[in-house]
A = this chain, B = another copy of it.
Amino acid sequence: MTGPPDSSPHSSSPADRLSYEQAGVRYDSIDPLKVAAQRAAASTAHHLVALGFSEVVASRGESAYVVDVGPFCIASIVECLGSKALVADEMHDLTGKDYYAGIAQDTIAMAINDLITVGATPLIVQAYWAAGGSAWFDDAGRCAALVEGWKRACDICGVAWGGGETPALAGIVEAGRIDLAASCTGIVSPKRRLSLGDALGPGDAIVLLGSSGIHANGLSLARKLAERLPRGYLTPLASGTSYGEALLTPTLLYSQVTEALFAAGIVPHYCANITGHGWRKLLRHPAAQGYRIHTLPPVPEVLQFIQHQAGQDARAAYSTFNMGAGFALFVAADAAKRAVAVAQAQGVTAWLAGEVVTGAKRLFIEPLGIEFAADTLQLR
C-alpha cells in the first residue's frame, strides 16, 4: 500500500475504459441461478429439525452457513480461487518462478475469510485441486509449492488440513490448468460469538483491515488489462515491482484478527469480507441503515495502477476492487479503537474508517463524494 487513492479524473477516453463485463464476467446471467439455488437450499433446512438441530436463519445469504447443534454452532463453506492461477501460470512462463505457494494461500483465504465473518473459529480445511489432466501433477516443484503453501496457510490460521480431492479432469478443466477451491468447517463457540448482524445498528463503528493488494477478486479485469499493456505482466509499477508480481501477492488471512478480538473481549456486531463487488460488500447486511466512510485506507499500488490503466473512476474502482480494505469489522463504538489496536498487534493494518448511521440503506464514501445505493448489491 503505497499512497492515497487516485480519484482524480483520468485521461483515458471512454472507448479505452475496461469494465468488468468487458472482461467476460456477466453477473446478470449467473444471479437468477443463484436465486433459484438459494430458495431451494432454504427449503431443505427442516431436515436439521428432524435431527434435533436448527439452522441459524440469519446466516442464509451470508458468507457462511451456520447450524445450531446444541452446545455450539457449526459453520461451513466452499469457496473457489477464481482465475488468479492463470496469472501464476503466465508469470511462470515469463520468469521461471513458481507462484503456487502464494496461490494456495489465496485459495484458503477465500474460504477462511468468508467463514470468520459469522463469528466462527476455523477448524478444518479440505483441499479441492482439480487439474486438467494427470500431467499437471508431473511438475514436482509446482506440486511441492502448492502443498507447502497450503500447509503454511493452515498454520497461519491455526486450522487442521483434513484432506481433499485431487481429480484429473481432462475434458472439463483445460489442459495445463487447475481449478482450486477450499471447503472449510468451523465452530461458533460460545454462541454469543455469532456476528450475523443482530446487534448491528446506528452508532456502530466501521473498522477496515488492510489488504495486501488485489487479493483474489477482480482478476478477470486485471488479466484483460495485461493483454493491453505492451510489456504485459512484466510492466513495472512505480516501485519497480512488475505488474504480475504485484498481482500475485497472496491474499491476507484475517482469522488471527477475529480470534484475537474475541480473546480481547470484543465480539463484532457484523463482518464483511471485501471480495467480489468491492466496497459494495459493505452493504451486505439486509438492515435499512446507512454506512458512512470518513477515512480511506491507502490504495495498494497495484490497484492504483489498474484503476488508472483501466480508466476507472472512483465509483467503478471501489465497486470492483478492495481498494486497500480486505475486511470490514462493525463493532460497538466504544470498542473501535481497541479493535484497531488488536488488529495491528496481529500485524494487520487497521483503520477506524466510518460509522453506521440511520436512514436509507446506502454506502457513502465521503472523501470521494460517492454513494452506493442498496440496489447496487443484490446477493439475495
- Is the pair A161, B78 in contact by a Cβ cutoff of 8 Å? no
- Is the pair B85, A172 in contact by a Cβ cutoff of 8 Å? yes
Interface size band for A: 35 or more
User: Which one of A48, A127, A163 has the greatest number of beta carbons of chain B within 10 Å?
Assistant: A163
Q: State whether A76 and B124 are in contact (beta carbons under 8 Å apart), knowing that A33-B137, A174-B173 are contacts in the complex.
A: yes
Query: Could you tell me which residues of chain A, from 269 to 324, have a CB within 8 Å of some CB in chain B?
Result: none
In the complex, which of the residues B33, B41, B121, B166 contacts A161, with contact meaning CB atoms closer than 8 Å? B41
User: Which one of A79, A124, A147, A155 has the greatest number of beta carbons of chain B within 10 Å?
Assistant: A124
A80 (CB) vs chain B CBs: closest residue: B167
- Is the pair A151, B78 in contact by a Cβ cutoff of 8 Å? no
- Is the pair A160, B55 in contact by a Cβ cutoff of 8 Å? yes
**Can you identify 27 A-B contacts, CB atoms within 8 angstroms?**
A24-B168, A25-B134, A29-B137, A30-B134, A30-B137, A32-B137, A34-B166, A36-B143, A37-B127, A37-B164, A40-B148, A41-B160, A47-B154, A47-B155, A48-B160, A64-B163, A65-B160, A67-B123, A67-B162, A78-B78, A78-B183, A82-B167, A83-B170, A83-B171, A86-B172, A165-B181, A170-B220
Q: Mark A172-206, 1 if CB is under 8 A from B, else 0.
A: 11100111010101010000000000000000000
Q: Mark A332-347, 1 if CB is under 8 A from B, else 0.
A: 0000000000000000
